[in-house]
Amino acid sequence: MIDIKFLKENPDKVKENIKKKFQDEKLPLVDEVITLYDQKREKLTKMEGMRADRNRKSAEIGTLMREGKKEEAETVKNEIAHYGDEIDRLTKEVDTLDTQITEIMMKIPNMIDDSVPIGKDDSENVEIEKFGEPVVPDYEIPHHADICEALNGLDKESAGRTSGNGFYYLMGDIARLHSAMLSYARDFMIDKGFTYCVPPFMIRSDVVNGVMSFAEMDAMMYKIENEDLYLIGTSEHSMIGKFKGQLIKESELPIAMTSYSPCFRKEVGSHGLEERGLYRVHQFEKQEMVVLCKPEDAMDWYNKMWSYTVEFFRSLDVPVRTLECCSGDLADLKVKSCDVEAWSPRQQKYFEVGSCSTLGDAQARRLSIRAKGEDGNYLVATLNNTVLATPRGLIAVLENNYQKDGSIKIPKALQIYMGGKTEITIK
The confidence score (pLDDT) of residue 70 equals: 80
The confidence score (pLDDT) of residue 269 equals: 53
Quick: pLDDT tens for 348-373: 999 999 999 999 999 999 999 999 99
Quick: pLDDT tens for 313-326: 999 999 999 999 99
Quick: pLDDT tens for 290-310: 999 999 999 999 999 999 999
Across residues 141-149, what is the average pLDDT? 95
The confidence score (pLDDT) of residue 392 equals: 94
The confidence score (pLDDT) of residue 275 equals: 65
Residue 271 has pLDDT above 70, yes or no: no
pTM: 0.89
Concatenated DSSP letters for 147-183? Answer: HHHHTT-EEHHHHHHHT-TT--EE-HHHHHHHHHHHH
The confidence score (pLDDT) of residue 82 equals: 76
Q: Does domain 4-105 have CATH number 1.10.287.40?
A: yes
How are beta strands 370-373 and 247-249 bridged, if at all?
parallel
Share of the chain above pLDDT 70, in %: 98
- Under the banding of pLDDT at 50, 70 and 90, the label for residue 270 is low
Per CATH, 4-105 and 122-424 having the same topology is answered no
Quick: pLDDT tens for 37-85: 999 999 999 988 888 887 787 787 788 778 788 878 777 777 777 777 8
The confidence score (pLDDT) of residue 217 equals: 77
Residue 273 has pLDDT above 60, yes or no: no
CA distance 309 to 353: 9
* Domain-wise residue ranges, the chain: 4-105, 122-424
Give SS3 for 321.
strand
The confidence score (pLDDT) of residue 1 equals: 82
The confidence score (pLDDT) of residue 247 equals: 97
Across residues 233-250, what is the average pLDDT? 96
- Residue positions counted in the chain: 427
Longest pairwise C-alpha distance within the chain: 108
Could you tell me the fold of the domain covering 122-424? BirA Bifunctional Protein; domain 2 (3.30.930)
pLDDT, the chain, mean: 93
Residue 126 has pLDDT above 70, yes or no: yes
Residue 404 has pLDDT above 90, yes or no: yes
CA distance 346 to 135: 10
CA distance 410 to 401: 7
Residue 274 has pLDDT above 60, yes or no: no
Residue 155 has pLDDT above 90, yes or no: yes
Across residues 248-274, what is the average pLDDT? 84
CA distance 325 to 338: 5
